[in-house]
């Protein structure tokens, strides 16, 4: 099964593509669920589902760029995923290197900036090296910011942020009396990035699975039964359109 999927020559999508830049979410976060089930339904090894899921990432990144989304955050590997069989973990953690070895030149040409959120320390060297290389190569780009959430867990993130904040309070760098939500957000992995406007979860589950718990406080959620490898450009555009139909009050009243 080949991973290579053309990024920017999908003629059919070009002909039918009509995005509305007004009311397009700036930041879309995605929980990519259903790779293993997709493979099992076809009597294939779960690894085949994860590989097919990478092809879906390519399509959705392309569509996000065309839709003028500014930030796309994808949940690639959670702190809970270490509970899976070792052979499956090893396969998943090799995918970033394989993906970037193929697509990094095209991402650079499309002005994509790559970042990573999560605890990188426990990841294999080849995963960290591939991600850091991509971050370095794209750091001056100012187009779509593509965030890979790797070895990411929101509770771990908040706990670490709290510990770091306490140290800074004790060292006199931060005033406890003046501490606010914005300042606390600066201690999270997503410091400096706008909170997601839209969360998409594929695969039929309707839970957050320890993903961006602080950042999703006022995010619009959109769930679909479609398994991630089957999630298409049209599905993504449909989610954006449903987002545009929402009325975001942030606890207030629309006038």
Bind-site residues for substrate: 34-38, 46, 50, 78-80, 82, 84, 201, 207-209
Q: Which of 33, 147, 151, 197 is catalytic?
A: 33
Q: Which of 9, 43, 81, 197 is catalytic?
A: 81
SS3 content of the chain, % helix, strand, coil (to 5): 45, 15, 40
160 is catalytic: no
The binding site for Mg(2+) consists of 33, 220
Q: Which residues contact 239 (CB under 8 A, 6 or more apart)?
A: 198, 200, 222, 224
The binding site consists of 33-38, 46, 50, 78-80, 82, 84, 201, 207-209, 220
List the beta strands (DSSP E) in the chain: 27-31, 71-78, 113-117, 145-152, 198-201, 220-223
Contact between 151 and 178 (Cβ < 8 Å):
no
Using CA atoms of 87, 92, 96, 99 in order, give the dihedral in degrees to the nearest 10.
100
DSSP alpha helix (H) spans, 110-220: 125-138, 154-170, 181-185
197 is catalytic: no
Catalytic residue numbers, as ranges: 33, 81
């Amino acid at each position: 099964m080949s991973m290579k999927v053309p990024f920017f020559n999908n003629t059919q999508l070009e002909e039918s593509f009509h995005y509305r830049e007004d009311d397009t979410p700036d930041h879309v976060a995605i929980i990519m669920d259903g790779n293993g089930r997709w493979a099992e339904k076809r009597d294939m090894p779960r690894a085949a589902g994860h590989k097919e899921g990478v092809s879906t990432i390519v399509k959705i990144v392309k569509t996000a760029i065309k839709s003028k989304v500014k930030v796309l955050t994808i949940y690639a590997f959670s702190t809970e995923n270490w509970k899976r069989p070792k052979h499956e973990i090893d396969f998943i953690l090799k995918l970033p290197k394989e993906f970037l070895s193929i697509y990094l030149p095209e991402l650079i040409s499309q002005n994509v900036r790559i970042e990573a959120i999560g605890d990188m320390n426990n990841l294999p060297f080849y995963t960290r090296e591939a991600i850091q290389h991509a971050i370095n190569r794209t750091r001056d780009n100012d187009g779509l910011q593509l965030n890979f959430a790797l070895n990411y867990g929101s509770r771990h993130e908040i706990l670490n942020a709290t510990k770091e904040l306490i140290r800074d309070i004790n060292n006199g760098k931060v005033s406890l009396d003046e501490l606010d939500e914005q300042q606390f957000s600066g201690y999270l992995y997503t410091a400096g990035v706008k909170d997601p406007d839209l969360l998409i979860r594929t695969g039929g589950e309707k839970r957050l699975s320890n993903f961006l718990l602080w950042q999703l406080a006022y995010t619009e959620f959109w769930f679909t039964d479609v398994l991630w490898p089957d999630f298409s450009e049209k599905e993504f555009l449909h989610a954006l359109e449903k987002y545009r139909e929402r009325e975001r009050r942030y606890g207030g009243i629309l006038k």
